[in-house]
Structure 1
Amino acid sequence: MPSWLNNGLIFASYTLLIAAVSLALHRAGGVEVQAAVLIGAVMLLFAGQVHALVGRIQERATAEAELRGMRTLTAAMTRDMEQMRSRMEELEDALDTQTAARNEQISSEVRLVETLVKGLAESVEAGVRGGNQARRAGDRPDPLEPGQTRLPLDSDAAEPVTEGEMIETIRNSLEENRVDLYLQPIVTLPQRRTRFYEGLSRLRGPEGEIIMPGDYMRVAEPAGMMPVVDNLLLFRCVQVVRRLVARNRDIGVFCNISVHSLLDSEFFPQFVEFMEHNADLTGAMFFEFSQSAIDGLGPIERASLDALHALGFRFSMDHVRRLDMNLSELYDMGFRYVKVPANLLVGDMRGTGSLVRAEDLKALFERNGIDIVAERIEDERTAVAVLDMDIEFGQGFLFGEPRAVREDALSAPADPLADPVRELREVRVQ
């Protein structure tokens, strides 16, 4: 209702009421008409003043309530502004910290790459001085003569090459970034859900031909080039794990590391520094060593292993031939996984040195805090036999072949909606 209409009705009510009182005074009280009218007029004026006073009091109360509300709102807005300012300062500090950490990480990566390049140059120079400079043979001998090997071309017409030529091919592959990282799944049993990946390295020749480790290692190892190959593999593994961890995926990567890297006094300290800046990967990245390398650890290699362990990283053992291990010592060193070929687990274990029966092997390892990964599972029969031993992890072509990681996927911004593993891999099997 409009305020003027409301006031008019109230005034009319006052007038009628006072008129009735004045009339009653005249008739019942014997008051003269003029006096009764005067009394009514005074009462009407008084009622108007009282009404106006009450109205002002109500308006003042309303204004004070609104003022208090405004003050409360202003105080709340002030608190919000302070909180926003504090949050912005926290974000700026966090951004500065992240930027500094990222810059330091990039610096450590650059130093790592510089070390790899320097090591490559030194190893190639040493390999060339080793005398592997024989000329290409005119005819293809069968079998190969000493000092010769073949690029693993698809064509049977591939000509043999000398070790010097293979070293040059490896050097060019490294310099031109023709080193590919392949991922092979390690699955849980019996669910066959991917839990880990193993990182494997492949080199590509000048025509795109794949050079398998078995082909280049026999030349690269004597030439001192394997640490460079292994270190590049480690660098790629860190990039892959970082993308997986960014999505909080429950997937880890096993990355092979050469015992030569543990001995490299120039590379290894920088590698430890590099891993310090990636300490968030400790639960997702496991360094893998062969059984023969662990058996032959010297004091320098052991100290290097302890340095990685001190950062929180854990290890895996592969290329297992014997099962008579000191499991408690392995656990203290940081080993949490041991890869055992499936044919050793399901076959005749008499030559492995195992002191327990096959069906008790898993429980023995488990009591010492180490999980067995049955590797090289190629058929369902072997998978069933491994399941009968209650082994929890399996690896092999039955569960997935190694697939190449796309180079552009490592440098491209992560798509939060994409499958983190699928986007890293080639669609076709290599």
Structure 2
Amino acid sequence: MPSPIKQIAATLLYIVPSIGLAYGAILFFDFDPKLAALTGIIAAMLGAEAHAAISRTVERKATRKELQELTSLAAGLSRDLDDAADKIDELEERFERETNERMERIFSEIRVVESLVKRLAGTRDFTVPAPEIEIEASAPVEKSNAPEEVSSSDVPPPKPEKRLEDMDDDELLDTIRHSLETNRVDLYLQPVVSLPQRKTVYYEGLSRLRTDKGELIMPRDYMRVAEPAGMMPTVDNILLFRCIQVVRKLAQRNSKAGVFCNISAFSLLDEEFFPQFVDYMQHNTDLAQHLIFEFSQATVNGAGHVEQASLEALAALGFRFSMDQVTDLRFDAGSLHDRNFRFIKVSAATMLEGTYSAGDIHAADLKELLKRNGIQLIVDKVEHEREVVDVLDYDVELGQGFLFGEPRPVRESVLKDEPAGKAPEIPLAAD
């Protein structure tokens, strides 16, 4: 709005000329004073109208400019709001997608665990029934109306806990089952090192059962009693699944962790477990860079249609394979590569002391043959320095064995849901 000074100045601009016009009409044209005054008034009114028109034009332009600025500002705000709304929608979709994936992974895990635990409970039918005890008839005892008293001698004393070496097969079987049901499954890791630097590049995961008292149940112990009882497929599957669960947590803490995990023929042939296991791995394909599934040479050579289909299902998800317990060097490296085998483990004894017949691959040529087919050779069961010197003559680049490190349990802190640490290696329990 114009200031008062500007309004007075504008008024004088058309009033002063009007007075001059009236005075000039009287002085130069002999107008009647009244007529001259009327002429001046008309001129002042015309000037005022012209001033008003000009002012309205100026205000109209200013208003139009302000409207344009407001419109531009509103358009900018609208774009910002649209961008913000798009980002909110994107975040909501991402959160929902990640939540659904996480929940699906959890549900698939729960389904596998429930299935295995139910099957484990079903194996109780294999336990030996307690013998029937015949009770001889005796004279009837006259009942007393007095309340019964129970002496301390009527309550059987608790059975002392036995050590593993003192248990019979039935007791050991129950102990194994209880360890599995209570999730007393520990993961041990043994390093696979580069040669000659001896720097850890991979680990092999080894599962161990643990009793309530903390005693370890080694595979040689539980396999002896679990297999005759028909429990071995379930035991093998639970151990494999627990190994996968632990490796998933390790991978979250160490992006470079690579772990060999054994799968037996029991798992590959299990028509109930393996499809569930594949479904679980479909929701954990990020583990393909951390997990190398390992099979014995006997399992690979004896693979039928079912086992081969199981291998193909895992290979389709991007998982790599390793063949260990190699005793026969007559194998088709190209065929193994086509089946997604990327590692082969041969013991130091087989490499250095094995006897070779016609058709065998000599140790000196084995490494190069595998390399040409995209397979890495790992010499395992290395226990003496002399063996390291000898295998280096064959240009072996990877080794495993007690000489480089014994299997050690993963620390409990690693398995908890804690933020990833800065340590480059997977933390292991102290010796």
CA 1:85 to 1:294, structure 2 compared with 1: closer, same or farther past 3 Å? closer
- Out of 408, 427, 430, the position equivalent to 1:428 is 430
- Out of 381, 385, 406, the position equivalent to 1:401 is 406
CA positional deviation for 1:258: 2.0
Q: Is the 8 A contact 1:322 1:353 kept in 2?
A: no
Aligned partners of 2:2 and 2:260: how far apart in 1? 85
CA 1:265 to 1:4, structure 2 compared with 1: closer, same or farther past 3 Å? closer
Aligned partners of 1:247 and 1:12: how far apart in 2? 81
SS in 2 for 1:413: coil
CA positional deviation for 1:200: 0.5
- Out of 361, 369, 394, the position equivalent to 2:366 is 361
2:332 aligned with 1:314:
no
Aligned pairs for 1:34-183 within 5 A = 52-53=55-56, 55-84=58-87, 86-87=89-90, 90-91=93-94, 93-95=96-98, 97-98=100-101, 101-102=104-105, 104-118=107-121, 120-122=123-125, 124-125=126-127, 128=128, 161-183=167-189
2:396 aligned with 1:391:
yes
Q: Is the 8 A contact 2:187 2:205 kept in 1?
A: yes
Runs of at least 5 residues in structure 2 that lack an aligned partner in the other structure: 30-35, 130-161
Q: String of CA shifts for 1:288-322, please: whole Å, max 9, x gaps.
A: 12123333334444444444444443321112222
TM-score, normalised on structure 2?
A: 0.71
Aligned partners of 1:330 and 1:235: how far apart in 2? 25
Which stretch shifts more, 42-51 or 197-206? 42-51
CA 1:106 to 1:172, structure 2 compared with 1: closer, same or farther past 3 Å? closer
Aligned to 1:134: none
Aligned partners of 1:414 and 1:215: how far apart in 2? 34
Aligned partners of 1:357 and 1:206: how far apart in 2? 49
* Percent identity over paired residues: 44
Aligned to 1:275: 281
Aligned to 1:415: 419
Aligned partners of 1:383 and 1:341: how far apart in 2? 12
CA 1:49 to 1:247, structure 2 compared with 1: closer, same or farther past 3 Å? farther
Aligned to 1:213: 219
Aligned partners of 2:241 and 2:273: how far apart in 1? 12
Aligned to 1:201: 207
SS in 1 for 2:268: helix
Which stretch shifts more, 42-51 or 309-318? 42-51
Q: Is the 8 A contact 1:256 1:287 kept in 2?
A: yes
RMSD of aligned residue pairs (Cα, Å): 4.4
Aligned partners of 1:211 and 1:356: how far apart in 2? 38
Q: How many matched pairs?
A: 390
Aligned to 1:371: 376
CA positional deviation for 1:9: 8.5
SS in 2 for 1:374: strand
TM-score, normalised on structure 1?
A: 0.71
Q: Is the 8 A contact 1:151 1:211 kept in 2?
A: no
Aligned partners of 2:359 and 2:412: how far apart in 1? 43
Q: Is the 8 A contact 2:329 2:361 kept in 1?
A: no
2:337 aligned with 1:331:
yes
- Out of 265, 268, 292, the position equivalent to 1:262 is 268
Amino acid at match of 1:359: A
CA positional deviation for 1:115: 4.6
Amino acid at match of 1:268: F
Q: String of CA shifts for 1:20-46, please: whole Å, max 9, x gaps.
A: xx99xx9xxx999xx9xx899999979
Q: Is the 8 A contact 2:112 2:273 kept in 1?
A: no
Aligned partners of 1:269 and 1:353: how far apart in 2? 41
Aligned partners of 1:203 and 1:100: how far apart in 2? 29
